[in-house]
Structure formats: C-alpha cells, structure tokens
Structure 1
Amino acid sequence: MSSWFEERRADKAADAEQRRRDEEHRSRLRREEAREEKKERREEKAQRRRDKAARRQARAARREKTLTPGNVYRKGTLALVAASALASLPAQVDHFIAISWMLLPLPFALEGAAWVMNAGVAYADERKLPAWVRWLLRVLAMTAAGYAASINYSYGMEKDPAVGYGLAAVTMLGPLFFEVRQWVTTLTVDPAERKRRAEAKARRKHEKQRRKDHKDVGKLARQLVSAAPFGTLDFEDAFGAAWEIKYGTRIPGMTPALHAEKLASSKALADAMDAANGSPVSTRGRLLELLHPAPSALASGPGSSQVANQIPPASSRPSADASKAAKKGSRLRPVPPVRRKGDTAPYHPLAKVAAADTARRHAVVNGHHH
C-alpha cells in the first residue's frame, strides 16, 4: 500500500517537473520571439532612417545638379524667352484683330517663325552644318523678330512712347538672348568634343579635295564599293585598289610619271656623288678599293724597291755561285726586304676610320676592351 502512495507521489512530482519545464520552454520561446520582434523593429527603423538619408542625399544631388551655373543660365534664358513671347504677343494680336479677324493667326506665325529659326540655329550647330546655313537661319529669325518689334512699336506709340519702346525691346530681346545662349553653349564645348569636331571638319575637307583632284579614281572606288556585298569593302581599300588599277601601284599618289621622275632624281644624285668623290663609280667602290688594293697598287712597277727586295739579286757569276752552294750544301738566303718611304700609297681617311673600328670590335670580342 505504501508503495502505491509513493509511486503516486513520484508521478505527481514528475508531472509537476514536466509542467515546470514546459512553462520554462514556453517562456524562453516568448522571450526569443520578443527579442526577434524588437530586433526586426530596430532594423526597420534603421532602414527607414537610411532610406530617408538616401532620399535626402538624392534630392541634394538633384538640386546641386539643377542649380549649376550652366543649368541656371540655360533654363533662365528659356524663361526669359517665354516671357518675351508672352509680352509681345498681346499687342500684335490686338493690332491684327483691329484690322481683321482673319489676321488672328499672323502674330503667332511671326513669333513662331522667329523661335523656330532660332531653334534651327541650335540644330545646325549640333549637326555641324556649314556656317552659311546657320547665318541664313539667324537672318530669318531676326527678320521675323524685327517685323514683330516694328508692329509692337507702332502699337505702343499710340498709347505712350515708353510703351512703344518697351514692347519693341521685349520683342527683340527674346531672340537675342536665345542667340547669345547658343553662342555660349557652342563656345563651352569640352576640349575632346572640340577636337573631334576639328578632326571631322578636316576629314570632310580632305575628302572634298580628293574628290576634286582624283575624280576618275574616286568614281571607280565608289563603283567597287557598290559592287561588293554591303559592308564588306571599305572605301579606303577600294580607293587603293582603284589607284592600282589606274596607275599600276598600290601607293596612293604615285604615278608612272612620278616613278620615272624619282628614278631620274636618284640617278642624278648618284652621278653628283660620284663626281664629288671622283673615280671609281661610287663611294662604296672607292672605299673597297682603298681597304683591299689591287696587286698593281702594291708595286709601282717592275723597278720597285719592295718587289726587288723580295727576289734574290742576280749574280754575274751563276756557275761559281752554284758550285759554291753545292759545296756548302745549303740554299741561298734572299736579302731581307727593305721598305722605303713612298713605296705604298697613303691610306684614305675613311679606310683609317674603318680599320680603327674593326680593331676595336676585335679587341672587344677577345676581351681586351678597357
């Protein structure tokens, strides 16, 4: 009986321990969930702060980019242009309506013509059109603006002289401001763009001059390009091939006549050099003759002392000399050569320089260079 109560108490104690452990586990889970939620809230707040700072920096960057002197000048000029148009249009509309309602579109046409021509000047600058196109557009713009200014002046003078002068000035200042803006924009192009424009202008000038000087070759080159599949033959390669067809050489600019003139000039130069150096035919031949003289140059003649000293002197008594040599059993010894001044021709200065250079190279090869 006692054992049953003990087991019952043990079971109750085990159940209580299990409930305690479960409660601790649930408490730990709740604490972990609370920490995770708090961490997520902190991260969300930090992310919101970062996003807000990024938006603030982006606005500051846009504001800084927008408020640069260049943007302020360009956009400010456009604002002045719009104000000029708005100030000059009512007087023109009133003037033409007083004449006839049919003339209502005329003031808009005049103002529109002035601004479209000014925009055409900017487009011509952008597309690098010839200068006469830009000046023609400027003249047309100023003509339309001047006519509108005269109408506003006559209309304003009926009211008050100040009104007339003011309306005329407002009408003319808008196109003038826009033109000055375009000039400033053109002058402030970066150096790389200016260099690229100069190169493009020089290339166009070169192509124009080549078409003028070599019409037949250019025509044939264009025919070769059009005959080849699209994009497979470059015009420069076609021009070189056309030049070879016309003149027989791949070097552009050279013709048979120029080749003949080049050969004649080379021959004339060689003749002039030979005349300056004297005989032989060329400087190289003369230098070789000085470095390696012919045998005839070593001896001035049969009576030369150097040749004579290499041969035993003739004896007036050959039989006695022969018997004497037979008795002694030895051969005659020739007289040693004796070099005298004037036996050898003097070396040319070029030969001396070449010999010194050869000796120096031999000394370097043998390891005796100091």
Structure 2
Amino acid sequence: MAEQSLSVFKTTSYQEKPFDHELSFGRTFTDHMFLMDYSEESGWHDARITPYQPLQIDPAAMVFHYAQSVFEGLKAYRSPEGDPLLFRPKQNLARLNQSNDRLCIPQVDEDFLLEALKQLIHIEQDWIPHTEGMSLYIRPTIISTQSFLGVAPSTNYKLIIILSPVGAYYKEGINPVKIAVENEYVRAVRGGTGEAKTGGNYAASLKAQETAGKDGYAQVLWLDGVEKRYIEEVGSMNVFFKIGNEVVTPRLNGSILNGITRDSAMQLLRHWGYDVVERDITIDELYDHYQQGDVKEAFGSGTAAAISPIGQLDWGENKMVFNNGETGYLARNLYDTLMGIQYGQQYDPFNWVVNVNQPVQSHVS
C-alpha cells in the first residue's frame, strides 16, 4: 500500500466535558473523529482528523440497502500516571481486516491506522475519565458508500473512528447474571458472517435479546444454527465453563467471533497453569456435567465488561446455578487481572498495553 499522510483539523468549538458520574454507555462523544475514504481509483486516501460532525451520505448508498459494513470496539484507559493506554489494538485492527475480507471490503493498512488512532487519542486524551473502571470507548466503522442499488461489492467506502467516554460496566461491582438458552432464534451459522464483526449479526440477535429481557434475563446463550445443540456465544460475548479441572470454551468454527478478550483470558489462564480446552460442547453435555457437580464456574468475556460471571443458566425447565450464584474465583481473578493490566496498575507479562503518548511513526504527518 502507498504511504499515507494524516491531516488534522481541530475544532474551534470545544464541548464542556461531562462529570464522570454522569456517563453511561455510548451517549456522549468527543470533539474530534477520524475519517478516511476509499475509491477504486485512489485506494484508501484523505485520512484526516476533523471536528465531530454528521456525515452526508446519499440515500442510495449501498450500506443502507445491503449492509456491507464492519466495525470494531476497543478502549483507551488512563494509567495511574495519567497516560492514555490501549489494550492490544493491533489485534482489533487485524480482526477488522478479517471482517473486511468476509464482507468484500478493501483491506486497510493496519500500521497506519494504529498510528492515526494514537494521534486521535492523543488529541482527545482529556476525555478519558479519571474514575477507576471508566474508559474511552473507541468505535472504528467502515461503511459502503457507492450510490448504487445493484447487489455487488461497493466501489467506495468510508472509514470512521469515533470516541465515547463511558462509565464502569459494573456500577456496583462485578455481579453474576441470569442467562436463558435460546432455542428458537439463530444469531449466525457456519459459512455465514458470524466470525466477522458486522452489524447484521447484531441486528439478528435483537429479537431473542428483547424476548429474554422481558422474561428477566440479562442475555441469551446462543446455540449453533443447524442442530441447535452446540454452545456458541453468550449475548455478544464469548463463553467459558470450568468443568472439573479444565476450562472449556467453544472452538472458533466460523460462526463464533474471535474475541480479543477471549484470547487474553485463555493466555492468562494458561499462564497460571490451567488446562484450557477449545472444543465443541453441547448444551446436553454441559447439563450432564452440571448434574454430576462438575461445572464449577461459567462466565463470558468481551470488551465492554471484560469478564461477566454467569450465576444462572436456564435451559427450558432445566436450571443450572453456578457457584451458588456468586462470582467464582476464576472470573474474579481474570477480571481483576485484565483490568489491572489495562489500566497500567499491574505487571503486563505479554506486552499487551500500548502507551498512546509514545512517539507516532514518521509516515503520519
């Protein structure tokens, strides 16, 4: 890819920043955003940081009609010294390109995009909350913008990065949640787009989530879309079970998202000496293990919550309560360690954390 440059246009009208205690998730946005365009003639070009503003898009833009789009989600954290930190951003950008490949979207230069993101965070670092547990959520998105109603890959795209200061996911501490096994609706199937981070997967999940929420459940546990037996994800998170002496998580089979937090949890668990197994596991097998008293813990992993313990899992009339409905040792230890590393409060044995205030590369000007 040709070397790119980054232009910076700062706002002349800065917002008044909210107090940390006023923050929720995804409702407040910073003063600046990143934009970059793609055309067949010029490739990815015109990379720029601009004031946050609405987009002007033709109603015939293909994203509105055929949902050719991808996105990512990561966070910036404030270290005890006040530095902005990113957690494994290279993995997020690599996964963005994996999603691009599945959705027929041109690949982006991951190194350039990381340096541009660091520059954006550097400009907006005062937006990172100071309160422990809070962070600056980062949402890169690519949409197809060609004005055309034919069903084909677009020839034009726009890449956007917006930032949103967010409150702590667990306002009153990490608490187990109640989950329902979803037997009717399907999130994704092998060969579909389940392993890509694309909006259609989330739209497909809304009906089940809405129904479960009305019944008092925090999330649903997704089963495979063919036999409806094999455990896949919990809500929009990957899922883990401690069964006997093993920690089991469903293998990546083409319909399961390759979570960065999932991979981080597995690396930490193996670092601590646990036997982590990636394999197919059915809901029947899990219930059998539960009846035998072998299932010690269950938890989800994802960017928003890091680790979310599962206190109860209901499969029809069968109810499974894990660790007496309390947060288990592994979930607690993973949560505390991941948060400690992300905020620069604990030793990082894997060099996962990137300090934004380190010098940017010369090709960003």
Q: TM-score range by the shorter chain?
A: under 0.3
| Higher helix residue share | 1
Greater C-alpha Rg: 1
Q: Tell which has more relative contact order, 1 or 2 (C-alpha 8 A, sep 6+).
A: 2
Per the normalisation by structure 2, the TM-score is 0.19
Per the normalisation by structure 1, the TM-score is 0.19
